[in-house]
Amino acid sequence: MASKRIVVDPVTRIEGHLRIEAMLGDDGVIADAMSSGTMWRGIEVILKGRDPRDAWAFTQRICGVCTTVHALASIRSVENALSIKVPKNADIIRNIMFLTQMVQDHVVHFYHLHALDWVDVVSALSADPKATAELNQAISPSWPMSSPGYFSDVKATLQRFVESGQLGIFANAYWGHPAYKLPAEANLMAVAHYLEALKWQKELVKIHTVFGGKNPHPNYLVGGMPCAIDLDSDNAINIERLNMVKRLIQEAKAIVEQLYIPDLLAIASFYKDWAGIGGGLGNYMTYGDIPQAGVDRPEHFRFPRGAILGKNLGEVLPLDPTDTTQIREEVSHSWYDYPAGEPALHPWEGVTEPNYTGPKPPYKQLDENAAYSWLKTPRWRGNAMEVGPLARMLVGYASGREEFKAVVDPVLAKLEVPATALFSTLGRTAARGLETQLGVQWLMEEYENLIANLKAGDYATANTDLWEPSSWPREAKGFGFTEAPRGALGHWVHIKDGKIENYQAVVPSTWNASPRDADGGHGAYEAALVGTPVADPEKPVEILRTIHSFDPCLACASHVFGPDGRKLAEVVVR
């Protein structure tokens, strides 16, 4: 029986606005939970009536953290609708852009969004710099910055933060909480690497500026990529720029292999109990990505497409996002209206009609029996699904892909945990790191594929044969996909008379953070929280650990209503 309701609002160190309400039982364990997205997404309304060739530019602004992913899904949806085939170089460059985003985002998530759930920053002040250096050299002997003097300087910098009374980026946390288990030296090492990763993360995304002109929100093009390549030119992407791309990939490989993975394994070794917490649904889904023989052939994707139900790694089920009976969104617990008699809709027929029926803000709690979120409730064949790095790694592993086994099995052996440990908060966190290992390997391979294709004399980056609307069918529907850092992302477009008739985006955090369905079935966040022990209800770091392991991104939305429900802005499409 629930004895206390814990409200975390807003959940910090995420993108967007998320509210979690957890019902704590008398035994100190979460008995039930609610996930509420408290911001409204109206991009579908904005897109209606616009030129589909421009959709990528609008959808990319859905989020500044997962920059590029909405653009990629969008152009693929339009190309799918219009049967446009892109040149080989365009596919490769898109893969490079995709992997650049994924690697950078995962490193940022681990150090800057999630690590502080496990690392007690203030505890680092009692660390011995010499012992910290020895620890660093033991877990990552190739990493250059590991001297006692270096850690002494980091400790002094942190000390000045604390003495000033302004912890800055380390403020407002649960320092000293009994759930923290790392020794002081491990905490100091993690803080140092936090700062190093913060400096590095801005470098890798320069690859986006090479091929896409800028970051965030690099440029894309329906039919390919808007970048000219000429190895000998000063006015196009030349050999100098391509050499810079290679150097940035090599630096990323060092960060991942010599910093991220050793830190991940070191921290995980102190929290093995979390291999039995936060498992949640046990259902996993991925659209797949990184095409090697065209986006129409998922069997050639580096990330395979498929679904797993009930933690059954013995069977990967096929899925078809264009089958209107498979993926459907309902709104029984969401602040939206659907046409009468329509309990759930496939995205091609999706409706985005806001209807806020919740309590007047500010409110103490939401009603789990009514609508309580701005997120819809997507389901695959009626099942709630978890998407993201864990889903991708499990589908790859269960599919028998050797590259997935090559990174998963050694980690399980090192931590001395079974494969079932992956179904957990710790497994979700570890999966992101293992995926990043694959990501930097594939990033270099895609770069080498591009160089080989250029050396063979192929410089084409775009196919404009079907650029003009006069060449399009009067009406067409398309599906575009990608595997965003946070999981399966799908865009569905309906084009009529050269304009967007309907557009729907089902984003990863819609899958994971969705409210209950009409049958009372939980979304992934809610299910993962059930069964979690909480030591101190006033400082629920355990809730943050599981929620942050998903890397929430609720920014797939735009504000249009004030706290009193008053409309603040109206967009008129002409």
Per the annotation, the verdict on 566 as an active-site residue is no
Strands (E), 26-166: 30-37
**Neighbour count for residue 343 (Cβ, 10 Å):** 11
Do strands 377-380 and 327-330 pair parallel, antiparallel, or not at all (unpaired)?
antiparallel
Per the annotation, the verdict on 70 as an active-site residue is yes
- Selecting among 74, 94, 435, 553, the annotated active-site residue is 553
Per the annotation, the verdict on 509 as an active-site residue is yes
- Selecting among 17, 19, 41, 70, the annotated active-site residue is 70
Strand partners, 476: 495
Q: How far apart are CA 410 and CA 414, in angstroms?
A: 6
Both structure tokens of 158 = 């942190």
- Selecting among 35, 41, 63, 94, the annotated active-site residue is 63
Q: 3-state SS string over 516-540?
A: CCCCCCCCHHHHHHCCCECCCCCCC
Which class for 420: exposed (0-12), middle (13-18), buried (19 or more C-beta within 10 A)?
Answer: middle
- Cβ atoms of 63 and 406 within 8 Å: the answer is no
Cβ-proximal residues to 99 (8 Å cutoff; 6+ apart), any chain: 290, 439, 440, 442, 443, 446
- Selecting among 66, 77, 106, 435, the annotated active-site residue is 66
Per the annotation, the verdict on 257 as an active-site residue is no
- Selecting among 15, 446, 526, 542, the annotated active-site residue is 15
Alpha-helical runs (H) found in 355-424: 389-398, 402-415
Which class for 444: exposed (0-12), middle (13-18), buried (19 or more C-beta within 10 A)?
Answer: middle
Per the annotation, the verdict on 227 as an active-site residue is no
Both structure tokens of 305 = 């497409």
Per the annotation, the verdict on 123 as an active-site residue is no
Q: How far apart are CA 295 and CA 303, in angstroms?
A: 12
- Selecting among 509, 514, 526, 548, the annotated active-site residue is 509
Both structure tokens of 189 = 């090492």
Dihedral sign of CA atoms 552, 555, 557, 563 in order:
positive
Which class for 88: exposed (0-12), middle (13-18), buried (19 or more C-beta within 10 A)?
Answer: middle
* 421 secondary structure, DSSP code: G
The amino acid occupying position 355 is N
Alpha-helical runs (H) found in 216-341: 239-255, 261-268
Residues acting as catalytic residues? 15, 63, 66, 70, 486, 509, 553, 556
